Amino acid sequence: MNDRTCIVTREALEPDRLIRFVAAPDGTVVPDLKRKLPGRGCWVGAERSLVERAAAKNLFSRALKAPVTVPPGLAEMVESLLVSTALGALGLARKAGAVALGAAKVEAGVRSGKALAVLHADEASEDGVRKIANARKSIAHVGGPMVPAYKLFSETEMSLALGATNVIHAAVLDRGPGEAALRRIDALARYRGIVPERDMSSAADAAEDME
Distances (CA, A) of 4 to 21, 41, 66, 138, 195: 12, 10, 19, 41, 24
Average pLDDT over the chain reads 90
Residue 197's DSSP bridge partners are: 149
Bridge-based pairing of strands 149-150 and 115-120 is parallel
The set of residues, in sequence order, having a beta carbon less than 8 Å from that of 201 and lying 6+ positions away, is none
Average pLDDT over residues 33-60: 95
CB atoms within 10 A of CB 67: 10
Q: Which position has the higher pLDDT, 201 or 170?
A: 170
Q: Can you give the pTM of this predicted structure?
A: 0.87
SS3 197: strand
Q: Is 158 in contact with 170 (CB distance < 8 Å)?
A: yes
Number of residues that make up the chain = 211
Q: Using one digit for the tens of pLDDT, what is the confidence trace for 120-177?
A: 999 999 999 999 999 999 988 888 778 999 999 999 999 999 999 999 999 999 878 9
The whole-number pLDDT of residue 51 equals: 98
Q: Give me the half-sphere count of Cα atoms (radius 13 Å) on the Cβ side of residue 127.
A: 0
Question: Under CATH, what is the fold of the domain 15-72?
Answer: Hypothetical Cytosolic Protein; Chain: A; (3.30.1230)
The superfamily (CATH) of domain 79-210 is: Ribosomal protein L30/S12 (3.30.1330.30)
List 30's β-bridge partners, or say none: 22
The closest of 25, 26, 54, 52 to 42, measured between CA atoms, is 54
* E strand segments, 15-120: 18-23, 29-32, 41-45, 99-101, 115-120
Return left, alpha or beta for 166; rule: phi > 0 is left, psi -120 to 50 is alpha, else beta. left
Q: What's the confidence (pLDDT) of residue 200?
A: 42
Say which range, 11-15, 42-46, 168-172, has the weakest mean pLDDT: 11-15
Cβ atoms of residues 136 and 200 within 8 Å: yes
Query: Hey, what amino acid is at 37?
Result: L
Domain parsing of the chain, residue ranges = 15-72, 79-210
* CA–CA separation, 177 and 167 (whole Å): 19
